[in-house]
Structure 1
Amino acid sequence: MSLFAELRMRPAAEPAMSGRFVAKGWDASRTMRLALSGGTLFVLLVGANLATPLYPGLSQRLGLGSLGISIAFASYVVSLVAVLLVAGHWSDHIGRRAALTLAVVLGIAGVTVFAMAGSLLALCVGRALHGAAVALATGASSAALRELLPNRVGWASRFTLLSSSGGVALGPLVGGALAVGPVPTEVPFLACGVVLALLLAPLVLIKARPAIRPAFDTSRSRLLAPRGFGVGQRSARGAFWRASAVGFLSFAVFGYFLSLAPGYLAATLGITSLPAIGALAGLVLAASAAVQLAGRGSAQRSPRTAGRIVRIGLALLGAGTLGAGWAASSGHAVLLVVAIVAAGVGQGMAFRELFDGLATAVAPERHAQAVSGLYVVTYLGSAVPVIGVGALAGAVGLPTASAVFTAGCAVAAGILAVFGAPRRASRAAGPAPESVRTRLSSPCGRRRDPS
């Protein structure tokens, strides 16, 4: 099926003018499909965080204060959340390849507008376009990875987390490293646009699999209409809200380190190197990504062990965030690095455990919707608290606002450690993962929704 046939939501068996193209399409290997599915989301998230070490320079060049930087950062998150709510399930109906292609096109537009921005409005427009791109890619990439690894749900979750956490972690490093020459705020984004453009060729040429829930007797407008928020599966609601709560908190911490913290840390520690600022801001995400890739999946652990890992992770997240706030205000660079790493390790432990639990509990035909819903709540943590900190900083100063924020996150992590960890009863539906794998082991690797 051609890309345009997918966008028109034509069923795979329907003859189309592009039928000859199907026979000549690129029948890529599973390894290449895994790389393309995860790599698209990875590159988009790298591009979304290139600006982290550049915010101090952009603030000076455009005359933006803490609130202006918060608004520019949050415009990406607001757009991402809105598109997740409206179109997070589209890849189920138009196909994973079509959704990823649309995401790449929007991503190219976003980085181009941001690179050429000369005002706060232009920054917000560029960030909003990129947020829409990440939103379309999030559910499509996660669902594609799971379909490509039907009998290895844990590995599919691990690749998803690598693409998301790894991309966010690498973005500040790449942004700082590419911020060279007379136009340091343009080169990183133009380079990202080139990489995204290179992804278009394989996405267009690959012989895509049919959509898991294509349009047959149901109208296209009804299928693409916004869905109700949530996981849509009663047995998975507990896993969904636990992962969402921890995701909201952890992304509030990430949002702070990716927006306001670079300028604050550069001032308190006397750092002037953009790569160093990017490395420090991205350290918490790098630690999180490393932990999420290490060790066994949660399916191999008992419910008691899983709950213990979540509690330890949340305790580390709270202690590390509180320690980072104190170290930044007192200028202790070594302690700051240790605290940031501890917060990242704790987030990686807790979120990976809860994400794996959600991926195991949810049915395959609900996977894209569940992951999109999870990231709606998660990414709101990057917007609402950060805007609040920016507004507070305008009234009492950034040092005081940062101290209040880090203390509040530590308290929230403690509360979630007590009440938010999975209990024994939450894993009661043990046979579900096996039934999911059985359904996915069909020749097509997916199940059609009877509706």
Structure 2
Amino acid sequence: MATHTETAPIRAKQVRLPRTAAVWVMAGILWAFFAAAAAPSPLFLVYRAEWDFPVWMLTLAFAIYAIALLGALLSFGRLSDHIGRRPVLLGALLLECVAMTLFLTAGNVGIVILARIVQGIATGAATGALSAAITDFAPPHRKTLAPLLSSVAPLSGLAVGAIAAGLATEGGHPIVVVFIVFDILFLVGLGAVALSPESVTPRPGAGRSLVPRVAIPVAARAEFIREIPVSAAVWIVGGFYLAVVAEVLREVLGVTSGAVEGFYIAGVSGFGALASFFARNFPARVNAAYGSVLIAVGMPVVLLGMNTHSFVVIAIGTLLAGAGFGMGYLGGVGILAPLAKAHERGELFSGLYVVNYLAFGIPAIIAGLLIDAFGLLPTVNGYGILVVIAGLAGAALQLPRLFRYGHHSAR
């Protein structure tokens, strides 16, 4: 008599990246999102030359991205704390692929604006989860790694995205080249996230987390409030360069090269990335305080260069403001990140990005509305004065605490 024995099915072991690799994957994807965010700025002028739409639509296309991103941050920013980082990132990467394809196939400025909206939603959903994942995966014995990656990745991404897109305008079919490359990058990112480990245990409340609001962990609230002017100064500078610098170079200084525009747009974030790297071992509050000072000092130099038509003076001011950009961003992340528990990091970073993108987007929208009434250069001068005020406010809140507790003991 034959006997029948049942064997349990053998499950294939899931392949997952080690956590030490996952931290770099998340930083790389964060870099790609910010590179893609900067790339349209030089390319908007290509679209404008092809379709001949008014200047204010360039500012609208820029500003609507920030509005869509803010909406996504408010709605999805805390979701990864409940359902995990991977599902949120997979969805955001798919949306970003859709946005890149819309840019690639756009036949009119309306589709470009739609692409910018989709891109804003994808970036808003991704940025908080990516910054939280970087902090989750960073080795405990390397305390400066997470703030460093969370600062250098977006700043270098903004720089490389603007430069690469600007260089692409010097060759044939720049829109095709740029957005096919980004589509490929984000498809690779999808595969990398699928192979990454999950760093969060799912917990109830996912539905409630979708109700739009800003929620900051209790332990981080006091520092978060003190950090607001620093973040505002940093991201008003970022918005200034992405929203108006290309137009100033073209309309005021007579630049006709997309590559030159790309280099100047990228200057502030490129110098910022370098400053973040070299300041990585400074205490976080030192970076926040002196970053604010450098922004307040650098922006008047930039405005002087624009008003005197001096490329050298603009470059010097950009170096100073860019160093402040990088140090201020690194300092803010370094102050706040240790104050959140693992399941609070998504909401903390989303709250921080809400402040960042309000500062990034609102002045740009206002500038776009004022250019027709007051002219380009007077509007840009007012924009720059706002940067200086924000930098001084950040320094006023951070410097007294720095001197009270000492430079070496400052967190």
Alignment TM-score, normalising by the size of structure 1? 0.82
Equivalent residue letter for 1:279: F
Question: In structure 2, do the counterparts of structure 1 residues 167 and 393 end up closer, same or farther at CA, with 3 Å as the change threshold?
Answer: same
Choose the corresponding residue for 2:295, options 299, 317, 332. 317
Question: In structure 2, do the counterparts of structure 1 residues 309 and 153 end up closer, same or farther at CA, with 3 Å as the change threshold?
Answer: closer
1:352 maps onto 2:330 in alignment: yes
Choose the corresponding residue for 1:290, options 251, 274, 283. 274
Choose the corresponding residue for 1:247, options 218, 231, 243. 231
> Alignment length, in residue pairs?
399
1:229 maps onto 2:207 in alignment: no
The 1-side partners of 2:400 and 2:98 are apart by 41
Contact 1:77 1:383 in 2 (8 A): yes
Residues 330-354 of structure 1, C-alpha deviations (whole Å, 9 max, x = no match): 1111111010110010122223122
Gaps of 5+ in 2: 1-8
> Aligned ranges for residues 6-17 of structure 1 at < 5 Å?
none
The 2-side partners of 1:263 and 1:225 are apart by 38
1:438 maps to: none
Contact 2:137 2:199 in 1 (8 A): no
1:16 maps to: none
1:443 maps to: none
> Aligned ranges for residues 162-201 of structure 1 at < 5 Å?
162-201=152-191
Equivalent residue letter for 2:269: L
1:402 maps onto 2:373 in alignment: no
2:20 maps to: 31
Gaps of 5+ in 1: 1-18, 434-451
The 1-side partners of 2:287 and 2:370 are apart by 34
1:261 maps onto 2:245 in alignment: yes
The 1-side partners of 2:254 and 2:176 are apart by 25
Choose the corresponding residue for 2:313, options 316, 335, 353. 335
The 2-side partners of 1:221 and 1:260 are apart by 39
> Aligned ranges for residues 432-451 of structure 1 at < 5 Å?
none
Residues 403-451 of structure 1, C-alpha deviations (whole Å, 9 max, x = no match): 12112321332233223547269989xxxx9xxxxxxxxxxxxxxxxxx
2:4 maps to: none
The 1-side partners of 2:206 and 2:318 are apart by 47
Choose the corresponding residue for 2:33, options 15, 27, 44. 44
The 2-side partners of 1:57 and 1:426 are apart by 52
Question: In structure 2, do the counterparts of structure 1 residues 81 and 153 end up closer, same or farther at CA, with 3 Å as the change threshold?
Answer: farther
Q: Secondary structure at the match of 1:153?
A: coil
Question: In structure 2, do the counterparts of structure 1 residues 20 and 37 end up closer, same or farther at CA, with 3 Å as the change threshold?
Answer: farther
Question: In structure 2, do the counterparts of structure 1 residues 422 and 49 end up closer, same or farther at CA, with 3 Å as the change threshold?
Answer: farther
Superposition deviation, residue 290 in structure 1: 1.0
Question: In structure 2, do the counterparts of structure 1 residues 411 and 266 end up closer, same or farther at CA, with 3 Å as the change threshold?
Answer: same
Choose the corresponding residue for 2:393, options 411, 415, 421. 415
Q: Secondary structure at the match of 2:370?
A: helix
1:8 maps to: none
Contact 2:239 2:364 in 1 (8 A): yes
2:259 maps to: 275
Q: Secondary structure at the match of 1:385?
A: helix
Contact 2:286 2:331 in 1 (8 A): no
Higher mean displacement: 146-155 or 134-143: 146-155
Question: In structure 2, do the counterparts of structure 1 residues 296 and 263 end up closer, same or farther at CA, with 3 Å as the change threshold?
Answer: closer
Question: In structure 2, do the counterparts of structure 1 residues 157 and 268 end up closer, same or farther at CA, with 3 Å as the change threshold?
Answer: same
Superposition deviation, residue 285 in structure 1: 0.5
Superposition deviation, residue 248 in structure 1: 2.0
Choose the corresponding residue for 1:160, options 140, 145, 150. 150
Q: Secondary structure at the match of 2:174?
A: coil
Equivalent residue letter for 2:216: V
The 1-side partners of 2:27 and 2:404 are apart by 29
Residues 263-282 of structure 1, C-alpha deviations (whole Å, 9 max, x = no match): 21133333222122101111
Contact 1:38 1:141 in 2 (8 A): yes
Contact 1:165 1:285 in 2 (8 A): yes
Superposition deviation, residue 70 in structure 1: 1.0
Percent identity, please.
26
The 2-side partners of 1:365 and 1:419 are apart by 29
Question: In structure 2, do the counterparts of structure 1 residues 37 and 310 end up closer, same or farther at CA, with 3 Å as the change threshold?
Answer: closer
What RMSD over aligned residues (CA atoms) do the two structures have, in Å?
2.5
